[in-house]
Copies of this chain bind each other. A is one copy, B any other.
């Protein structure tokens, strides 16, 4: 039996995708050898990457071609934290960051290190338990962009709507909730996401950007870190992480045949509602995020008697409920409910939580 995998990423993948991958691993697409062995410049791989790109554009609500470009890069969101201000910001026209948690802060810090970032708002005073209310911050012109982390994996908060930036270009780190729900990405100018939550395995980062972001030259930055260099090379400046792109294409196809984002979002809501209801039921558990800011991807909670948390994680692990320990920087408990996590896993967790409460409550 497969364990119930609540890991925050790399994370559970659709079993159908894994089975397809296994079936084709030694002989992919009838080529007689493995996709792992294909040239990244081969016709066979070209078909894979354009298929992945077409599906991604469709699901993200982006046009089929310009003015949007899609890049398949490496280095994770962490590399984008640096590439973004290097390419788009200047000391005079900095990137402006809404700091809703650890990953927002890391993005901000890379921009600040380059002298090109300012913090517009911080959730620190309330322990990063919320997304700011409309009007709580405003871009300070001149601004290169406003940066928002759409879902905060570690604190378990999520933007349920994209913010109004009053005309300042919006940049989104969508790593941990991309394609978990319909979202008007085309209202932003750049979206980046590590693949290892909802898109596929670790080792692939997608960047979708409006060609406006390529207009201003960014002299002196290394070619490999220059969005324009990647865009001008038709999205394949250097070797792609080909296997990860192939698995992403399969994952995107799985989303489409599962009913698309509306159906995926409904399932994600159902899973999250079930778990939050259990957290709120008796007071034995306590949710970290404010109700209006709760994430449907990463549910963070504590046990009122915090000394029981270690025992909870150990017993859960023994019951094949994996990855429930909160991030090492904040502690507590966390259940990640990405697209591929079955409803049955949440049911199993809820049942375990009730049993644990009966025994220790």
Q: Which A residues contact B (CB, under 8 angstroms)?
A: 1-3, 5, 7-13, 15, 18-19, 21-22, 25-26, 31-34, 36-42, 73-76, 78-79, 81-82, 86, 106, 109-110, 113-114, 194, 196, 201-204, 220-225, 237-244, 247, 320, 323, 328
Asked if B10 contacts A31 (CB within 8 A), the reply is no
Choose from B3, B79, B109 the contact partner of A75 (Cβ within 8 Å). Answer: B79
Asked if A7 contacts B37 (CB within 8 A), the reply is yes
Residues on B with C-beta less than 8 A from A74 are 74-76, 79, 203, 241
CA distance A19 to B222 in the complex (A): 39
Asked if B78 contacts A113 (CB within 8 A), the reply is no
Nearest-Cβ distance from residue A79 to partner chain B, whole angstroms: 5
Asked if B8 contacts A19 (CB within 8 A), the reply is no
CA distance A15 to B11 in the complex (A): 28
Given pairs A18-B34, A18-B36, A82-B222, 20 additional interface contacts (CB within 8 A): A3-B31, A7-B42, A12-B33, A13-B37, A21-B25, A36-B201, A73-B75, A74-B74, A74-B76, A74-B203, A78-B223, A82-B224, A82-B225, A106-B223, A110-B223, A114-B222, A201-B242, A202-B242, A203-B204, A203-B241
CA distance A323 to B37 in the complex (A): 11
Given A22-B22, A25-B18, A75-B224: A1 touches B109 (CB 8 Å cut-off): no
Asked if B22 contacts A243 (CB within 8 A), the reply is no
Asked if A32 contacts B18 (CB within 8 A), the reply is no
Asked if A76 contacts B239 (CB within 8 A), the reply is yes
Nearest-Cβ distance from residue A4 to partner chain B, whole angstroms: 10
CA distance A277 to B223 in the complex (A): 40
Asked if A240 contacts B202 (CB within 8 A), the reply is yes
Residues on B with C-beta less than 8 A from A11 are 37
